[in-house]
Amino acid sequence: MASQINPRVLQRILSLDDFQRQAHRILPGAVYEYVAGGTEDRRTLKENRAVFDEYLLVTRVMRDVSKRSIATALFGEQWAAPFGICPMGLSALAAYRGDIALARAAKAFHIPMIVSGTSTIRMEDVIAVNPDAWFQAYLPGDLERTTALLQRIKTAGYRNLVLTFDTFVGASRENQVRAGFTTPLRPSLSLAWDGLSHPRWLARVFLRTLLRSGMPHFENSFATRGAPIISANAIRDHAPKDHMDWERFSMIRASWTGKLIVKGLLHPEDCRIARDRGADGLIVSNHGGRQLDGSPSAVRMLPAIIAALEQSGPRVPVMVDGGFRRGTDVVKALALGADFVFVGRPFNFANVVAGEPGVAHAARLLGAEVSRALGMMGYNTIAELAHARADGVMIDAGAAGVDARIPRD
């Protein structure tokens, strides 16, 4: 697809939000709502952005920051930046073989990319183009299928396994249903018109996928191929697993020899339990505002989580996702104690607009913003951000009596 991308398209993209505005015009409404939307009244979706207004960055001057670097160590690997790409289900429905483009761009920029368990691209195909990719699994309800899935992930060659724990009770999808998106997809006249009225997506993504690969299936939910996205079995296969408890995690920990990361934690006590039961890392997350509406942002919970972990035992890497759109957002999370940040929707939208070159461009934009913010704050390395609050470089706007609220569209 790279040869079909007009370079002038990317010249007009100056921020991650620019990608979303372009993608909104390209995608059918149903697909756009699936990617961009939140659950119920979208309170948590809004909270994920609003929290960043509550912290301000204070510049320091006349410091030599000419040698600054945003390279960041995580799990023994030196990554090019302190951010990576979130797992995003059905990303190949928004951009042609979207997971492959995301994986290739991540490899080229040298940042981690997490393959989703609800991808329609086989996990084996993704790791073939990016051997450093991580895999994110939604655990099947029964132990037999869990064991088989873990064996498939090991055989494929994944070293880092992410278990997502905040979806065992299914969320409301009313906003997606209103937009015409359901799982399974139900063909209708309105859905057909939605596709026909967006010819670029129809030709470059949907029809191209049908012609080259046939109807997409959920490829990575189990050891064997899952149901087609239009099959009623998709509901059965992704039904709630509300009987799960920490014993299931301990069983997986006992059998998985690679790094094991738990995603979807918000409560400090859950973070402590996960660490004490053997988690190598934690991703603090509210699932991008797609699960419990009215829950706090992951960034808001960071200070309490970091404090709970440091007061009760050894520190493990704490990562965070949800609402990141600017380099200053990344810097604020790192200054609050996060070790790493994951970004989702913006990379998906970049993929929609310009495929792999678009994802690479998004990574460069975000990296440049992080580097600028680091320099303006008077720091040379990401590690130094841990001292930002003590140095008075990042302040809590509310505690300082500053109205940091920014009017939003």
Confirm whether residue 32 is marked as ligand binding.
Answer: no
325 annotated binding-site participant: yes
Q: Is 142 annotated as a binding residue?
A: no
Has 344 been labeled as part of a binding site?
yes
Q: Which of 183, 130, 148 is nearest to 290 (CA)?
A: 183
Give the residue among 297, 337, 303 at the shortest CA–CA distance from 321: 297
Distance from first CA to last CA of the chain, Å, rounded? Answer: 33
93 CB neighbour count, 10 Å cutoff: 23
110 is catalytic: no
Q: Does the annotation place 322 within a ligand binding site?
A: yes
324 is in an annotated binding site: yes
Q: Is residue 358 marked as binding?
A: no
Q: Is 116 annotated as a binding residue?
A: yes
Q: How far is residue 224's CA from residue 219's CA, in Å, rounded to a whole number?
A: 8
Q: Name the catalytic one among 198, 217, 238, 287.
A: 287
Cβ pair 300, 46 in contact under 8 A: no
Residue type, 343: V
- For 68-116, give the DSSP string: -B--EEETTEEESSSEEE---TTHHHHSTTHHHHHHHHHHHHT--BEE-
Tell me whether residue 391 is annotated as binding: no
136 is in an annotated binding site: yes
Residue 398 in marked binding region: no
Residue 287 counted as an annotated binding residue: yes
Q: Phi-psi bin for 361: left (phi > 0), alpha (psi -120 to 50), beta? A: alpha
Q: DSSP 3-state assignment of 135?
A: strand
The verdict on whether residue 290 carries a ligand-binding annotation is yes
Distance, CA of 69 to CA of 382 (rounded, Å) = 7
- For the annotated binding site for FMN, the residues are 87-89, 116, 136, 164, 285, 321-325, 344-345
- For the annotated binding site, the residues are 34, 87-89, 116, 136, 138, 164, 173, 263, 285, 287, 290, 321-325, 344-345
- For the annotated binding site for glyoxylate, the residues are 34, 138, 173, 263, 287, 290
Active site residues: 287
